[in-house]
Structure 1
Amino acid sequence: MAESTDLQAVLARFLPELAAEQRLDGQRQKVSRHLGQCRTPALGGMHWQCDRCAYAQPIYFACRDRHCPRCQQRASRRWAERQSQTILPVAYYHLVFTLPHGLNGWAQLHPAVLYDSLFAAAAGTLKAFAADPKRLGGELGFTAVLHTWGQTLTQHIHLHCLVPGGVLTPEGRWRTAKGHYLFPVRALARQFRGRLASLLRRAARTGALSRVAPADVDHRLAELMRTEVVVYAKPCLGQAETVVGYLARYSHRIAISNARILGIDGESVAFRYTDYADGHRAKVMHLAGVEFVRRFLLHVLPRGFMRIRHYGFLANRCRRAKLARIGACLARPEPTAEGAAAGRVADTEERYPCPACGTGALRPGALLPAPALAPPRRESG
C-alpha cells in the first residue's frame, strides 16, 4: 500500500483518469483543486520555530474548503462551540427525513432544487405538526443539516434535524413536548411525502426541473405518492453536552474522512464502512480508484448552497429575542460576559507543541509566499 493514504493522495492518483473519462463541471474542478493544494506549498504558509530548541518547520496554509476532511474538523468544533450558547435545558429529539432514492437522478441534474425542496418539505411538516392545537400549538425551533451520502459513498440524500422538545406559544410561554418521539413518525412521513411531491411538481411547472422530461416528472411523482416514506426518529437526548456532541458530529461532516481510508492497493482504494443492514458491523470495501473519486464528487454541493439551516425560534433573524424569552420561561441564567470572554481567550491561546523537544511551542516566523501561478484556465460549468 502507498505511504500516503488520505483523500488528497487518492485524488492525486485517480482524478486525472476520471477527468479523461468524463467532463467535470467547474464546481467539482474547483473543489478538487482546493483539496489537492491543501497544506501544500501551492497555498504558501509560514515558517514555524520552537521557542525552546532549534527545531523549525514550514506549515502550509489550509484550503478551508467545506468538502476538505483536513479542514472540517476544526470548523465543526468552532461551530458547535458557538451553537452551545443556544442549547436549552430541555430534552432534544433527532429526526431524519430522507429523499426517496427514486429521485436521486434528479438530484444529479438539479441538485439545488432537490435539496431546497427536501429542506422545505421537512421544515413545513415539522412546523405544521408543532402549530397544530391538538399537538403542541406553538412555534418549534430546530436545526437541519443536509447529508448526501451513504457509508459506501453512494447517494443517500437526507436531513438530520435536531429539535428542542417544546414550543413557544403565541402567548409567549414555553410548552414542553410529551412523548418519546416528539410526533407520530408515520403521520410525519405521510405529510412529508405529500409536501415533497407538491413542491417538486410546482418546480416542474415553473421550469426549475428543465432537464427532467415531463413524462418522467409525472411517473416519478406518481411513484413517490405510492411509496411508503420512512421518517427516522431517535429517542430524545437529555443533557446539553450530548446535544453539543450531536451538533459537532453532524454539522460539518463530509462524505468520507481521512481516518476511514486505509490505503491504495494497485488500482483500488480500501476504506472502512459500517454496514447498518448487518447489525452495524464494521467492514472494509475495496473500490476501484476512479469509481471512488466519482462517488466522492457526487457529494460536492452547489456553489453557495447552505447545508445547515435554522428554523422557527432558532432562525437567525429572531433567535436572540426568542431564546431570551424561552430562557425566562425556563428560568435559565443568561450567559455572562466573563464566560463568553473566557471562551474567546481559550480559542486564541491555541498552542502547537514542539514535536522535537516536547516542552517548547512552535511560534510563527517568516511568511512563505505561494509560488507565482499562471492565470487559471477558464473552467466550464
Structure 2
Amino acid sequence: MFPVRALSRHFRGHMVSALRKAAHAGDLHRVNRPGDVDAQLNTLMATDWVVYSKDCLEHTHTVVRYLARYTRQIAISNARILAVDEHQVTLRYKDYRDHDRHKSLILNGEEFVRRFLLHVLPKGLMRVRHYGFLANRCRRQRLMQVRRALAVVEQAPDADMAASDAELAYTCPHCKQPTLRMIGTLTPQRHTYDQPSNHKDQHYRA
C-alpha cells in the first residue's frame, strides 16, 4: 500500500520523537550523561532506516509456515548445522553483502552457545502473542464456546447445557455426527415444468 522509503522515514520520525519525549520525561533511566540523548537521536535521524515490507499472505499454509518460524524456531535450524565436534561447530549462513551466497562459519563451542543465547527472550516476554479466541483476556470463555460449537465435551456438562445443545444440534445424514445447525426451512417454488412437491427442503450448515 505504501512506498517502503516513505514508510521508513515515517516510522523513524515517530520512533525518534517518542524517544525524545521519554528522555525529557525522565523515563530513560539508563542514559545519564548530559547531551547524550540528543546526540544519539540526531545520529538516528541522519541514518536511513529500513522497514521490512512484503506482499500480504494469501494462503493458509503460507501463514502457518511464516508464524512457525517465530513460535517454534529459535536462532538457527538443524539444517544449517553442518558439523559438530568436541571443540567447534560448523554452520551454514547466507552472506547478503556478497550476493546472497551461502558460506560456512566455524565457531568454538562457547561462542556458538553465546550467540545462540542472544536469541532467547528474557523472562516475561513472548515471541508471539495470541489474539482472537486464544487471547488471555477471553480465552477461557471463548474456548468453551468453540468446544460447544464443535460438540467437543471436555467435562460432563450440566443438565441445562446438555438440553440446550440437544435442541440446537442435528445429526448429519452421511457421517452421523451432530455437527450441523439448522439455519432455516425453505419451501420449493412450483414451476410449470416441475411436479408439485409436498416436502420441504431443510438447509444446514456445519
TM over 0.5: yes
CA distance in 1, matches of 2:96, 2:61: 26
Please, which of 225, 228, 242 is the counterpart of residue 48 of structure 2?
Answer: 228
* 1:123-151 C-alpha deviation (Å, 9 max, x unpaired): xxxxxxxxxxxxxxxxxxxxxxxxxxxxx
CA distance in 2, matches of 1:225, 1:315: 39
The code of the aligned residue for 2:120 comes to V
CA distance in 2, matches of 1:252, 1:208: 34
Tell me the residue number matched to 1:250: 70
RMSD (CA atoms) = 3.5
CA distance in 1, matches of 2:60, 2:77: 26
Q: CA deviation at 1:207?
A: 4.3
Please, which of 260, 263, 266 is the counterpart of residue 80 of structure 2?
Answer: 260
TM-score between both structures, scaled by the size of structure 2: 0.55
CA distance in 1, matches of 2:43, 2:119: 25
CA distance in 2, matches of 1:251, 1:293: 20
Q: CA deviation at 1:268?
A: 2.6
Tell me the residue number matched to 2:181: none
Given the superposition, is the C-alpha separation of residues 300 and 217 from structure 1 closer, same or farther in structure 2, using an over 3 Å criterion? farther
Tell me the residue number matched to 1:204: 23
TM-score between both structures, scaled by the size of structure 1: 0.32
* 1:24-47 C-alpha deviation (Å, 9 max, x unpaired): xxxxxxxxxxxxxxxxxxxxxxxx
Q: CA deviation at 1:287?
A: 1.6
Please, which of 279, 293, 299 is the counterpart of residue 113 of structure 2?
Answer: 293
Alignment of 1:193 onto 2:18: no
Unaligned ranges ≥5, structure 2: 140-145, 153-206
Tell me the residue number matched to 1:308: 128
Given the superposition, is the C-alpha separation of residues 241 and 298 from structure 1 closer, same or farther in structure 2, using an over 3 Å criterion? closer
CA distance in 2, matches of 1:253, 1:299: 10
Which has more strand, going by share of residues?
1
The code of the aligned residue for 2:20 comes to R
* 1:204-241 C-alpha deviation (Å, 9 max, x unpaired): 34444322344332221111111111112222332222
Given the superposition, is the C-alpha separation of residues 249 and 266 from structure 1 closer, same or farther in structure 2, using an over 3 Å criterion? closer
CA distance in 2, matches of 1:255, 1:190: 29
Bigger relative contact order (CA 8 A; separation at least 6):
1
* 1:128-180 C-alpha deviation (Å, 9 max, x unpaired): xxxxxxxxxxxxxxxxxxxxxxxxxxxxxxxxxxxxxxxxxxxxxxxxxxxxx
* 1:326-353 C-alpha deviation (Å, 9 max, x unpaired): xxxxxxxx9x944x85xxxxxxxxxxxx
SS in 2 for 1:234: coil
State the aligned residue count.
145
SS in 2 for 1:303: coil
* 1:67-109 C-alpha deviation (Å, 9 max, x unpaired): xxxxxxxxxxxxxxxxxxxxxxxxxxxxxxxxxxxxxxxxxxx
Unaligned ranges ≥5, structure 1: 1-181, 321-333, 342-381
Q: CA deviation at 1:284?
A: 1.5
The code of the aligned residue for 1:267 comes to H
Provide the identity percentage.
56
Given the superposition, is the C-alpha separation of residues 305 and 268 from structure 1 closer, same or farther in structure 2, using an over 3 Å criterion? same
Please list, as runs of the form range in 1=range in 2, the aligned pairs for 1:57-136 lying within 5 A after superposition.
none
CA distance in 1, matches of 2:83, 2:44: 40
CA distance in 2, matches of 1:314, 1:273: 38
